[in-house]
Amino acid sequence: MVMPWWLLLIFLKHSSKVTPDSFSYSNADEWKDAFPMCGGPMQSPISLKPNRLTLSRTPKLKFADGLEDGEIEAVNTGREIKLKLRPRNRDEPLVQLISFSKPMVGVYTLAQMHFHWGPEPRSPGSEHAISDKFTDAEAHFVFFNNRYGNFKEAVRHFDGLLVLGVMLHGSDDEQQFMFPTLGMETQLDSISVPGRRLIINSDLNSFRTLLRRAVSKFFSYHGSLTTPPCNPVVSWMVSAKTIPVSNAFLNNVRTKIYEDESKKGLLVKNRRPVQPQLGRVVTQHISIG
């Protein structure tokens, strides 16, 4: 039984933060028992099979000054590696995204990014699939709608978040543009268990290149957070361009990051299974500049 909209709106109004240790990827089908919105409509991820094609203006990206003197703060939450990317002014957002395409028209501010990955090379690691094809990993850049002022308030509104998904495949070809890991792969031991943090001073200009590539061609649909409480408040933009990422980074993530302090379980398969599309429109955007 699908949750009625009036009840969904009540859950959204009273939605609260969920701690990572309150759910497990090993029983994702049971999330709805403790978190009712996970059994509701508009759930993510899905397999992206476009049923609409549109010509649209490329989203504008407004980057902060001082990317060359930036900072990465990485934390192991026990369910993902979450990154905060900060320019020279550590209180300023790295980037704002201005979308001209319906229904996600508006200005969005980057709050954080995180990764999802699989247990071994060439195993499904991405959450989304493109025409039923998964990749090694997926990066999510999470933005909140400026109209709500901050992430905590935005997550309570149907149009509160925009998440840019970037599908990643492992590569050893250093001659091509790679997803910027900025040396994190050599320091993952320091965040091997939940709660540990790693801070790296780094030039973040490579994210300017990455994000511009990602928004030049993408799929969009309306969906949800892919972790509890699964609020259906996300305008998804999933890049149609798969980006290579260092195999060394993927291998270290698979073998050095644990979901518990006792190091009994590696953090792998941190991906929610695809959800029913249920008649939703998936739009493929072709840029017109």
Asked whether residue 14 is domain-assigned, the answer is no
Q: Is the pLDDT of residue 198 over 90?
A: yes
Q: Is the peptide bond before 229 cis (omega within 30 degrees of 0)?
A: yes
- Are 103 and 159 in contact by the 8 Å Cβ rule? The answer is yes
How many structural domains is the chain composed of? 1
pLDDT 10s digits, 40-89 = 989 999 999 999 899 889 999 999 999 999 999 999 999 999 999 999 99
Which pLDDT band holds residue 102 (cuts at 50, 70, 90)?
confident
The answer to which of 7-11, 213-217, 224-228 has the lowest mean pLDDT is 7-11
pLDDT 10s digits, 8-44 = 555 565 566 788 889 999 999 999 999 999 999 899 9
Closest CA to 232 of 193, 199, 278: 278
Asked whether residue 199 is domain-assigned, the answer is yes
Asked whether residue 4 is domain-assigned, the answer is no
Domain around 105: 31-287
For residue 65, the model assigns a pLDDT of: 97
pLDDT 10s digits, 107-154 = 999 999 999 999 999 899 999 999 999 999 999 999 999 999 999 999
Tell me the whole-structure pTM to 2 decimals: 0.94
For residue 17, the model assigns a pLDDT of: 73
165-183 burial, b for 16+ CB within 10 Å, e for fewer?
Answer: bbbbbbbeeeeeebbbbbe
Tokens of 200: 């790296």
pLDDT 10s digits, 164-193 = 999 999 999 988 999 999 989 899 999 999
Class of residue 271 by CB neighbours under 10 A (exposed 0-12, middle 13-18, buried 19+): buried
Asked whether residue 253 is domain-assigned, the answer is yes
Q: Is the pLDDT of residue 5 over 60?
A: no
Asked whether residue 25 is domain-assigned, the answer is no
3-state secondary structure (DSSP) of residue 90: coil
What percentage of the chain carries pLDDT values higher than 70?
94
- Are 120 and 239 in contact by the 8 Å Cβ rule? The answer is no
Helix (H) or strand (E) holding 249: helix 247-256
Tokens of 52: 């609409």
DSSP code of residue 224: -
Asked whether residue 149 is domain-assigned, the answer is yes
User: In this structure, what CATH number is given to the domain that contains residue 105?
Assistant: 3.10.200.10
Asked whether residue 153 is domain-assigned, the answer is yes
Asked whether residue 101 is domain-assigned, the answer is yes
Which pLDDT band holds residue 215 (cuts at 50, 70, 90)?
very high
Count of alpha carbons within 13 Å of 221, Cβ hemisphere only? 29
